[in-house]
Amino acid sequence: MSDIICITNRKLCRGDFLTRIERIAAAHPRAIVLREKDLPKSEYSVLAAEVMRICGRYGTPCILHSFYRTAAALGAERIHLPLQALRELTDKDREHFAVIGASCHSVEDAQEAERLGAAYITLGHIFATDCKRGLAPRGLGLLGEVCGAVEIPVYAIGGISPDNVASVRAAGASGACIMSGLMTCDDPENYLRGVETHEI
């Protein structure tokens, strides 16, 4: 099974967004996280329903992001949340989801997310990335610390590419999240395979 999670960004997407989602889903990453946080809830809901249908056709897990009540209304089984939103989830909210993930940026964040019931976390940003221009990357040292501090899977995010993905695995991560590469590459399947198989 792939250890790469696709994070979407329709503003970076080259070509039609849903066509690219279909090509990525067909390549079977670990999951696709629909991250379009700038959309109003109503528009996110419409897009999420389409992406869930596409992912369902290929058996690729679809993880909705941030809008947990919208996700529940759509019958989504998976949600990814900023840590603050995870803190605010009620027991009733949690009942809707089989898998809850959280975005973390420190050892303390990761340990709190684990205590709050997260099934996995993303940790970033690990490497320099245009998405976080001007912000220093947190680096492989922190990634290793976090992986050693929690029992749940940790997925590195931020600046991940075929050239450095092996180093995040070596630091103890369960895998990595990729946004820009999968949104802009010519061939998502080949790109994904290249990231999955790259070794030190």
**What positions carry a catalytic annotation?**
125
Distance CA 3, CA 20 (A): 19
Exposure b/e, 7-28, CB count within 10 A at least 16 = b: bbbbeebeeebeebbbbbbebb
Q: Beta-carbon neighbour count of residue 69 at 10 Å?
A: 12
What pLDDT score was predicted for residue 200? 36
Give kind and range of the element (H or E) at residue 33.
strand 31-34
Q: Report DSSP letters for 171-194, one per residue.
A: TT-SEEEESHHHHH-S-HHHHHHH
pLDDT tens digits for 90-136? 999 999 999 999 999 999 999 999 999 999 999 998 997 766 566 76
What pLDDT score was predicted for residue 133? 65
pLDDT tens digits for 24-83? 999 999 999 999 989 999 999 999 999 999 999 999 999 999 999 999 999 999 999 999
The residue among 60, 76, 16, 12 whose CA lies nearest residue 38 is 12
* Helix intervals (H) in 1-100: 17-26, 41-58, 68-74, 83-88, 91-94
The residue among 60, 73, 52, 180 whose CA lies nearest residue 127 is 180
